[in-house]
Amino acid sequence: KIKKIGFIGLGNMGSRMSMNLLKNGFELEVSDLNEAACQQMSNHGAIVVKDCKQMAGEVDCLISMLPSSKEVLSLYIDGGIVNSLQPGTTVIDCSTIDPGTANFLTPIFNEVGTSYLDAPVSGGIIAAENASLTFMAGGEADDIERVKPVLLSMGKNVIHCGPTGSGLIAKVCNNLLLGITMIGVSEAMNIGVKLGLRPEILAHVLNMSSGRCWSSDTYNPVPGVLDGVPSSNNYKPGFTVKMITKDLKIAEQAAKRSALPFELGGKTLAVYEHLANGDFGEKDFSIVYQYLKEKP
Ligand code: NAD
């Protein structure tokens, strides 16, 4: 039974996810390069551990929530964590990274008697806060069953997608669609508003109609339509433009590997890449609404 959990990466998502582990009574060790993020968790009862190798030897389950493959590989491979883990420990990486990285890491963990799961999440910071994330997991069914109480402390749904890497394939497909719908909603809302509709009326219509999607009904990009979303808070992330750009690049690779078209994906990636290279990289990705509004 899992009692003690290590959590590495206390950013927009990890800070909220790890809070829910504390609320559910798990003993929690945390680590992040950002000291303020660690301090905040320490105020709530988590133990801050600087040395991730030390943490690895002390926990029943180790979770990482890092920006990209680069940080995940640097933590697990360069950080020497693999050899510090107790046999039987389950490592769960919740970051959105390239499925190939999960396939590369799995045998390395298995060799030392530990298991590795890719379990990326969907729902954004609101679902992270409310413990209503969806986990899409890749790996062995037994391992997923063992960590279900942990995942269900942070989310509502755990979907076993198949062997290692499958959770990430699902996540990348989801975020391809998310990037596309955010631009689609932004384009439609801009046109309707410019032609005289009140944004909350147009959003209400979309959300009762066939255009409804998460980008319209849960994370609407127009300021003032919804409370508590980044668009109503000066586009403070949330989910940054840089992050969706990273995910669309992974989706592009996936499309190449599958020899299938990347039509809307390509256009969507070009828009976010343009924003990421400008001043909007650290803003929430729903800022694409403002970009389309002001685009010459
Ligand atoms: P973030 O940039 O807010 O947080 C990442 C954290 O990792 C930061 O606090 C950073 O200091 C820390 N970090 C980086 N390298 C580290 C290292 N070597 N050791 C310890 N800490 C380190 O990112 P986020 O928005 O929380 O996203 C994390 C992952 O979750 C990404 O892969 C993202 O694509 C994915 N994701 C994000 C959202 C969202 O809405 N923000 C939703 C679903 C999935």
Q: Kindly indicate the confidence band of residue 79, based on its pLDDT and cuts at 50, 70 and 90.
A: confident
Q: Which of 108, 130, 164 is the last residue of a domain?
A: 164
Residues 26, 121 share a domain: yes
Give residue 296's pLDDT.
Answer: 80
Q: What is the mean pLDDT of residues 202-229?
A: 98
Cα 273 to Cα 267: distance, rounded to the nearest angstrom: 10
- Ligand 1 surroundings by CB, under 6 angstroms: 8-14, 31-34, 37, 65-67, 71, 74-75, 95-96, 121, 124-125, 238-239, 243
Cα 171 to Cα 71: distance, rounded to the nearest angstrom: 18
Active site residues: 171
> How many independent structural domains does the chain possess?
2
Supply the CATH number for residue 178's domain. Answer: 1.10.1040.10
Give residue 162's pLDDT.
Answer: 98
Q: What is the mean pLDDT of residues 19-42?
A: 98
Residues 288, 193 share a domain: yes
Q: Which of 164, 183, 211 is the last residue of a domain?
A: 164
Residues 112, 53 share a domain: yes
Is the distance from CB of 247 to CB of 172 less than 8 angstroms? yes
Residues 232, 145 share a domain: no
Residues 274, 177 share a domain: yes
The chain-wide mean pLDDT, for the chain, equals: 97
If residue 121 lies in a helix (H) or strand (E), which one and from where to where? strand 121-122
Is the distance from CB of 64 to CB of 94 less than 8 angstroms? yes
Torsion of CA 34, 128, 121, 66, to 10 degrees: 0
**Owning domain of residue 128:** 4-164
pLDDT of 248 > 90? The answer is yes
Residues 150, 10 share a domain: yes
Residues 268, 128 share a domain: no
Q: What is the mean pLDDT of residues 217-232?
A: 98
Give the atom of ligand 1 at the shortest distance from the alpha carbon of 133: 43
Supply the CATH number for residue 46's domain. Answer: 3.40.50.720
Residues 57, 13 share a domain: yes
pTM of the model: 0.97
